[in-house]
Structure 1
Amino acid sequence: MGQLTDKELKNLKPRTRLYKVADRDGMFAAVTPTGIISFRYHYRVNGRQEVLTIGRYSAEAARKLTRAPEALDYGMDVSLAEARALLARARRQVERGDSPSRAKAEKRTASIEALTFGGWAETYFRHKADPKSGAERLADSTLAMRRSVYDRAIAGALAKLKLAEVTPQRLKSLCDEVKEKRGPAVAVHVREVVLLVFRHAQGSGLDISNPAEQIRTSAIATFEPRDRALSPSEIRMALAALDHVAAAPTLRQAVRFVLLTGVRKSEFIDATWKEIDFSAARWNIPGARMKAGKPHVVPLSDQALDILTAFRTMFGTSRYLHPGRYDGETPISNATLNRVLDTVVERIRQDNPDFQSFGVHDLRRTFSTGLNRAKFDDRWIEMSLAHAPRNRIAAVYNVNRYLTERRIMLQCWADMLDVWMKGESAKDLIADAKKRAAEVHDDELDDDL
């Protein structure tokens, strides 16, 4: 039977699917599509077919002196010679009727359970700092902040304890002490760091409850909620993060649609296709669905129409613009878009830990604030928000009178979002839109007749 050589291993190239190259005595090299080469051993023990991953092939290890067998263990980065030494160990275990794969798992579990909270915290920080962790890696600023909280406020109290000894009561007591000494913000971060360390342990295979999950943030400190309007730079961060969160593409588009149109969450959630007029580029919301009880017309920008076209393609059999996940006859739940925004905020905070949270209604505030900062006519903005004037006669007249101007303004708003995403200024777009809106002639006001 042919045997592998180091030269052959170095020349193995990845393919579209995992493939195997045999060595000897049941061992083979498995090559993944990403180019990782690992040594695996097929065997039967007690009537069962099993596979043991001996270790990952390392060209660097191949250049060094072969380590003694007692210095080796399954799962290490190894040379070909070292893999064969571990193979010999595994074969002896099989001959005794023992499962080397099960022994490997049990040893790993025992090692995991032996770690203290401090040990787990160190493995968490190493994992989050390691470039090999991919998307799990934290930004340096976020990692430094969490490390600082751990070193200053957590390590002295919890580092030497077993994970099982870190109870909800003990954690809550620590948070209360930190709140008194360092303030509520640090106390909240203490809970968050403990939460993340325990989640890292759970993700590593440890079966243990997370004490931080039994303590609400509000039980430690509450912060006064405030109205939130995103600045252009925050809009750019939010939309960039939105493209990478684990949410359905149509839900990400739904968030954009609400920002583009400035409507209330309920007005979008319950919207139906009979309200959409593609030919006139309008969304006609009946009075029964509006807060003030009056019909509302939303001029649709090109970007908003593109999103609706995608919705129609995906959900054409439903009466709703965006139906629920499991039932096309019901709209999405009231909490769905908020959950998407929560994940957006979490992603942004990986690089900007002080980024303030925001909800769906804050998109409407952002819409209003952005147009006001651009100094569009406040009458157009108020009507776009469906804020009725005190004078009822004026209200009926104005809703129709400024439809053309509002269409220009909302198209400009959509274009502003696009240029902000590119890191560019919207100054020229705004000036051009205002100029065109000011030139609207009476013969364009068909809705007055």
Structure 2
Amino acid sequence: MLTDTTLRNLKPKSLTYKASDRDGMYVTVSPTGTVTFRYDYRLNGRRETLTIGRYGPAGISLAMAREKLIDAKKAVAQGKSPALEKQREKRRLTAAKTFGDVTEKWLVGARMADSTKAMRKSIVDRDILPAFQNRQLNEITADDLRALCSKVKARGAPATAVHVRDIVKQVYAFAILHGEKVDNPAEDVGAASIATFVPKDRALSPLEIRLMARQMESVATYPTIRLALRMILLTLVRKSELIQATWDEVDFERATWTIPKQRMKGRNPHVVYLSRQALDIFVALHTCAAGSKFVLPSRYDADRCMSNATLNRVTQIVAERAKAAGLPLEPFTVHDLRRTGSTLLNEIGFNRDWIEKCLAHEDGRSSRSIYNKAEYAEQRRHMLQEWANMVDAWIDGQTYVPKLIAARDNANDRPIVLCCWNPVRRQQPRSRLCQLQVPGQVHKNLEAVK
């Protein structure tokens, strides 16, 4: 089976040769050193070869090639020829010479979450197409792109300016992949030359969780808003995943919420194991929804979900009120609630793999994520219940010592003992099971607001 290291180390020879991967895919290495992914298959009694794409920065990655292989196998199983379809698509794309035409095809063919596609399309329509729509691909230069990004940044939208650069880069990569002989102007426009951003690492402390809940009660807003923010904190889902949720995703009997892959950033379905507290919130939201298919319907149209901006406005008001009252609650966003759960669960000592699964994170940089397909259903359900119990206790000005359970190292058939984070020595004892203690500073902070 091929790896990126293996592919980078393939050396050209006097004649083209092959190197096999898995599931029928292989690469050919030309005398000039070009590495190309291919797939042989039989369809209607004839042998065909699909050229998946070239490997490298100007082509596709190994992971992307394997995704395209899966699509090709599905097509063959349905009696379709992926090689002929690629030729048809290449002819269609070759006929489209303008940036606008290629961008339209990219939006249809690129694999991305629906929420990401909607965000990118809005940027394409508002910022990119007015400048580039009718221009030939080979007419757009790096200076043109740099000028467009500067214009967007000048109106106070540096993050959007970086998105403009990234979208143009992907559109050109799509065109090149489908046979266009053009240079990618975005390659010469570094993202850092447009804008730089401070990494986001805001996580609320147990004290701030208590203060947030207190201030939330005094904000003149709908109960559904308070419930939604509490739900994000308890389940660690993304804001869009909750706002766009529908009732057919929630199983009250099994206490699960299954988010379909179309709405997930990682393009895989995600099961959220609901704590008793989260289940109670869903029951309350179901009553408030009054028959709408959406968990959080719009106040103005029950057939639409709540606006993405609604929750952000409330968190801003909460932080402003806390500041006016002299309370130690720094500004925070809705996404910071998700990061809060991840940070505190890691500090307390819960298994990192369980936390990452709850967050629906896939670490593409690590081979660990490729082979670790465990779902940890029982462990995640237990951990989220303990997390909900802790949040309840903190809001009430109490402390709660969560119950840790042992994981199992299936490779060595032995239990893994989970121990607490030691706030003094900052290390985990490895040889014995110890009682988990919430760091002492947390106790002091909670005592201060009782």
TM-score, normalised to structure 1, is: 0.45
Structure having the higher Rg? 1
Greater helix fraction, Structure 1 or Structure 2: 1
